Amino acid sequence: MSEERTDHQELSPTQNHDGADVVLRAVGISKTYGVTRALKGVNFEVRAGEVTVLFGENGAGKSTLMKILSGVETPTAGHLELDGEQVTLASTSAAVDRGISIIHQELNLNPNLKVRDNIFLGREKNSWRGIDYAEQSRITAEVMERLEEPISPDTYVQDLRVGQQQIIEIARALSTDARILIMDEPTSALSTAEVTVLFKIIRELKRQGVAIVYISHHLEEAIEIADRAVVFRDGELVAAEDAADIDLLWVVRTMVGRDADYDFREEPREHGGVALSIRDVSVADPISGKFPVDHVSLDVHQGEIVCLYGLMGAGRTELMEALAGRDQLAGGQVLLGEKDLRGTGVARRIELGVGLVPEDRQRDGLIQMQSVGKNLSLASLSSWVGGGLLRRGAETRAVSGQISGIGVKTAGPEAPISSLSGGNAQKVVIGKMLLTDPTVLLLDEPTRGVDVGAKGEIFSLLFQQAQKGLAVLFATSDVGEALTASHRIVVMSRGRTVRSFDPRTATREEVMAAAEDSTGASPGAPEALSTTGSTNGAQG
Amino acid sequence: MSTTATAASEEKSPRFRINIGAILMEGRALVALLLIIVIFASMNDNYLAAGNLATIAKDVAFNAIIALGMLLVILKGGIDLSVGSTVGLTGAVAGNLFAGVSLPLTDAVMYPSLWVIVVIAVAVGMLVGWINGLLISRLNLAPFIVTLGMLYVGRGLTQVLLGGTNITNELRGEPGLNNEGLFSIFASYPLGVPISAWVMIALAVIFSLLLTRTPFGRWLYATGSNERAAELSGVPVRRVKTRVYVFTGMCAGIVGILQIANIRSATADLGNLYELNAIAAVVIGGAALSGGRGTVRGTIIGAFVIGFLTNGLVIVGVSPFWQTVITGAVIILAVATDQIQQIVQRRRAHARAVAQAQKDSARRGSLESKETS
Ligand SMILES: Nc1ncnc2c1ncn2[C@@H]1O[C@H](COP(=O)(O)OP(=O)(O)OP(=O)(O)O)[C@@H](O)[C@H]1O
Ligand SMILES: [Mg+2]
C-alpha cells in the first residue's frame, strides 16, 4: 500500500509547477451503490496532450470513475478540480460545456433517429428556421470522413451494425471539440483498420493538447496508445506508471494479481462427428438486397472450437443470427447432426441444442428490468417445470451454481442486472445459454468488454464443455484470441469464408491478411474448409 | 468487485433496495386505501355497514377481474381498450342464448343449458381477445389502435344483438329448459360474500401463480421489458403476445356473465368505460405502462382503492360531476406519490452512502498517519 502511494506521489506532484498541465483532477472520489462500493477514495488526474489508459478487471470501477468525471454520476465523497478549481458537474451537458466528453462503454444511441440527429441530440444546431439540418449533416459528414467511415448522415441508426454504431458514438464525442475526451472501450466492436484510424485521430488530438482517457480490455492496443497507465483493482487506484516503463506482463499482473495469459493451443482435442453442418448458406439483407452471407459452407464437429475470424461487416453476425433461427436463409441448408433445421425458429433451435450469445448484449442479451438470476434462467425455464409450475428450488440451485461456475461478480441472484459491470453482464449472457445445455454454442464476439482474467475463464469454460462434446463456433475480430483459443480458424470476408488455418501453425499476419483480402476467395474454398475441418489438418 | 465481504459486514446487512422499493410501492396504494376508508367511515356511518360493503365488494370484484387481464397486457407493454365492449358483447350473447336461438331451416328454437351459455359467453370473450392478439402479434399493429377499433366493433355488435331493447325476463330461464339458475348461482352470496368476490379471489390466486410460478409469467415479464432479448432467449414472443389478449377477453367474458346476473338484464351499455377503471387499478397498483413491471397484489389493491373511493363519494353525497373529478385527481396523485417516494428513497440512500464514505475516509486517514509515523 505505502509503496504504491509513493509511486503515485511521484507522478502527481500536486504542489509544484510540474502539475501545470493537469487539467482535471479527481480527489478522494468514492462511489457507493447500495452495498456495492464501486470506488474507494480514488485520486486520479488527467493531463493535457496525454493519453491516460485505465486498466482493471471487470467491475474494478473504471467506468464508474469515468461517469463521475463526465457528470453522469455524482460522487458519494470527494470532489473534482478542473484547471485547479473545484467544480461540480451536475449533468453531462454541464460537463460538455466545460469541454469534457465521454464515449460510453454501452451504446447510447436512439435507433429510430438518423445518424446526424443522434450526433447532435441535445445540442442541435439552430438557425432562424429551426434546426439547421444541413449544417448538422455537413459536420456529421466531415467527422465521418475523418473517421474514414462511409456512413451517410441520413442513415437510421437501427440499420447499422454494432461496430458502426460504436463509430457513431465516437463521432458524437469528436464533434463536441472537447478538450478532455474520455473513451470507455471505444473499440470493442471495431476492426483493426478502424482502430488504426481511431489511433491516428487520437494522436492528432494529443498534438492539439486534448487530454484523453482511454479504457480498453484489448491490452496490447491500449499499451500502444498509452502515455500513462493507471491500474484499478476493487475500486482503488493501485498503480500509476509512465507507459514507457510498463509492458503487458506488468499490466496483467497488476490488474489481476497473477499471470492470466491463456493459451489453449496445446489442449488435447478429440473431435466427434459433425455437430453442425452449414451447407452453401446465403442470407439476404431485405433492405439493400445484398447478400451479407454468400454461399458459406462449414462443418463444426463435436468437441471442436471453431473461430470465425473476420473484420466488421464480414457477415459473421448475419451468419450467426441465421444459424440461431432469427433470420431466414436465402439459400442453403443447416443441419444439426442429421436434422435439417429448416423452418425452425429460435425457441425450437434452443430446445434442439443450438444457442446464440448475441453480439449486442444490451439490446439482445439482457432483460434490464430483471435480476441476475432471472436473466440467467430465462432460456431454460421449461427444464424446471413440474406440474405446470416452476420448481424454484431447482431453478435457484442451477442459477447459483452458474453464477459461481462462470464467476459472475454480483451481490447475488437477486441483484438487478443493471448493477453489473460490462464484463460481468456478458458472462450472464453466456451463462444463460450454457444453462440450456446446448450441443452447439454460437457466440458472437463473446469477450467484448471482458477483462483478460475473465476472458481466460470464459475460454477455459468453453474448452471444458468442448471436452464433453460441445461444438463451439465463435466470431471474433481479435486475432490473438483467434490464435490462442480455438481448434481451427475460419476467416470470413465479405460474406464468404476465404481461408482456414490451424492456430498451431498460423501467424497473426497471415490470418489478418486473409481477412483483409477478399480476392482470395476461390470457388473451391468452401469444400476445402470442410475437409480440413474433419481432419484438423493444416491450412486450407 | 461488487460486494466486498467487508462492505457487507460493516453495514449491518442492508437488504436489497428493490425489495424495499417494491414493498413501499404497494404500501403506498395500501396507505391510500386505508386513508380513504378512514375518511369516509368518519363521514358516514353506513360506509362500513355490511350491506354497503357487499356492494363495494361487487364493484371492486368486477373491476379487479378485468384489471387482472389488463395487468397481463400492460406487463407486455400493450393496452386493451376493448374489454368494456367485450363485457357488453358477452352479456348480449348470453342474453340472446337465454332467449333461445331459432335454428335456421326449421321452426325449432334451441335453448342451451345454463353452463353451455356460460362457456359460450366466455369463449366469445376469448375469441375477441384472440383476434386482438393475432392482429397485434402477427401483423405488428399497435395495440392501442387495434383494441380501439375493437371497442367500436364490440359495442356495435352488442347493439345489433340486442336490437334496441334490453334482455331481462328471459335471463330467469324456464323450468324444463335447463337454463335456470343464472341469478341463484351468479348473483349468490356464498358465506355472505358476493360470488363475484370469490371469483376475483380465485382468479387472483391463479394469475399470481401464473405470473410468478410458470414459464409463461417469466416470459411475459421478459417480453415486456426487452422483446428482442426475450426472443433470442427462446421465448415464444408472439405466442405470449397473443395469449395476454385472450386472457383479457376471458376476464371480460366472466364479468359479462356476472354482470347480467347482477343487474338482471343484458343492456347495450353494459361494461361501458370498464377499460379505463381497469387501467387505473393496474397503474395505481404500481405497474409500468411501458411493460415489464407490475404485480397481481398491487392491481387488486388498486381496484380496492377505486372501489372504496367511488362508493365513498356516492355515500357522502358528493355530486356525480365532482365524483369524476376527484377520482381522476386521486389516480394522478397515487402515481405521482410513487415517483416522489422513489426520489425521496434515492436521496436517503445517497445520504447514507455519503455518511459511510466519510467514515471510510476518516478511517483511511488514521490508517495512513499510522503508516507514515
Ligand atoms: N448503477 C449501479 N448500481 C449498482 N452497482 C453498480 C452500478 N454501476 C456499477 N455498479 C457496480 O460498481 C462496480 C464497478 O463497476 P464499473 O462499471 O465501474 O466497472 P468497470 O471497471 O467499468 O468494469 P468493466 O471492465 O466490466 O466495464 C461493479 O461492481 C458494478 O457492479
Ligand atoms: Mg466499464
Residue A188 CB less than 6 A away from ligand 1: no
Higher-pLDDT residue of B24, A479: A479
How much is the pLDDT for A315?
Answer: 87
> Is B81 a domain residue?
yes
Q: What pTM does this model have?
A: 0.80
10 Å CB burial of residue A101 (0-12, 13-18, 19+) is buried
Residues of B in contact with A372 (CB under 8 A): none
> Is B334 a domain residue?
no
Across the interface, do A367 and B361 touch by the CB < 8 Å criterion?
no
How much is the pLDDT for A269?
Answer: 76
Across the interface, do B230 and A378 touch by the CB < 8 Å criterion?
yes
Phi, psi for residue B265 in degrees, rounded to 5: -165, 145
How many helices (H) and strands (E) chain B has is answered by 14, 2
User: pLDDT truncated to tens, each residue of chain B (373 aa)?
Assistant: 343 333 333 333 344 444 555 555 556 778 888 889 999 999 998 899 988 999 999 999 999 999 999 999 999 999 999 999 999 999 999 999 999 888 887 888 888 999 999 999 999 999 999 999 999 999 999 999 999 999 999 999 999 999 989 998 888 888 888 888 888 999 999 998 999 999 999 999 999 999 999 999 999 999 999 999 999 999 999 999 999 999 999 999 999 999 999 999 999 999 999 999 999 999 988 888 889 989 999 999 999 999 999 999 999 989 988 988 998 898 888 778 767 777 777 777 777 767 766 666 666 555 555 544 4
How much is the pLDDT for A312?
Answer: 72
Across the interface, do A77 and B219 touch by the CB < 8 Å criterion?
no
Distance CA B270, CA B66 (A): 14
Q: How far is the CA of A491 from the centre of ligand 2 (A)?
A: 30
pLDDT digits (tens, 9 = 90+) for A410-422: 888 999 998 888 7
Across the interface, do A377 and B231 touch by the CB < 8 Å criterion?
no
Range of the domain at B130: 25-318
Q: Which long-range contacts (CB under 8 A, 24 or more apart) does B16-22 make?
A: B16/A34, B16/A411, B16/A414, B16/A415, B17/A34, B17/B345, B17/B349, B18/A371, B18/A414, B18/A416, B19/A414, B20/B345, B21/B342, B21/B345, B22/B286, B22/B295
Contact, A444 vs A469, CB < 8 A? no
List strand residue ranges (DSSP E) for chain B, in order.
101-102, 109-110
Contact, B167 vs B91, CB < 8 A? no
Chain B: nearest CA to A274, how far in angstroms? 24
Residue A59 CB less than 6 A away from ligand 1: yes
> Is B206 a domain residue?
yes
Q: What is the CATH number of the domain that holds B179?
A: 1.10.3470
Across the interface, do B218 and A411 touch by the CB < 8 Å criterion?
no
Ligand 1 binding pocket mutation candidate from A215, A232, A361, A421 (most atoms within 8 A of CB): A421
Residue B372 CB less than 6 A away from ligand 1: no
Residue A318 CB less than 6 A away from ligand 1: no
Could you give the number of structural domains in chain B?
Answer: 1
Residue A447 CB less than 6 A away from ligand 1: no
Taking the CA atoms of B45, B51, B53 and B58 in sequence, report the sign of the dihedral they define.
negative
pLDDT digits (tens, 9 = 90+) for B14-42: 444 445 555 555 567 788 888 899 999 99
Q: Nearest to residue A64, comparing CAs of A225, A157, A181, A184?
A: A184
Residue A31 CB less than 6 A away from ligand 1: no
User: Which atom of ligand 1 lies at the shortest distance from residue A105's CA?
Assistant: 27
> Is B7 a domain residue?
no
Distance CA A239, CA B320 (A): 72
> Is B174 a domain residue?
yes
Give the best residue of B20, B138, B233, B346 to mutate against chain A (max A CB count within 10 A): B233
How much is the pLDDT for A17?
Answer: 40
> Is B116 a domain residue?
yes
Q: How far is the CA of A233 from the centre of ligand 1 (A)?
A: 12
Residues of A in contact with B7 (CB under 8 A): 35-37
Strands A100-103 and A51-56: unpaired
ipTM of the complex: 0.79
Contact, A537 vs A305, CB < 8 A? no
Question: Which pLDDT band, with edges at 50, 70 and 90, does A540 fall under?
Answer: very low
Give the best residue of A4, A5, A32 to mutate against chain B (max B CB count within 10 A): A32
Give the SS3 label for residue A354: strand
Across chain B, mean pLDDT equals 86
Give the best residue of B226, B232, B347, B348 to mutate against chain A (max A CB count within 10 A): B232
Percent of chain A with pLDDT over 90: 43
Considering only the beta carbons, identify the residue of A37, A365, A382 that sits closest to B4. Answer: A37
> Is B346 a domain residue?
no
Residue A477 CB less than 6 A away from ligand 1: no
Q: Name the least confident of A59-63, A141-145, A289-293.
A: A289-293
Q: Could you tell me the three cell numbers for A322?
A: 441465421
Across the interface, do B229 and A369 touch by the CB < 8 Å criterion?
no
pLDDT digits (tens, 9 = 90+) for A107-127: 888 888 999 999 988 888 888
Across chain A, mean pLDDT equals 85
pLDDT digits (tens, 9 = 90+) for B85-126: 999 999 999 999 999 888 887 888 888 999 999 999 999 999
> Is B373 a domain residue?
no
Q: How far is the CA of A59 from the centre of ligand 1 (A)?
A: 5
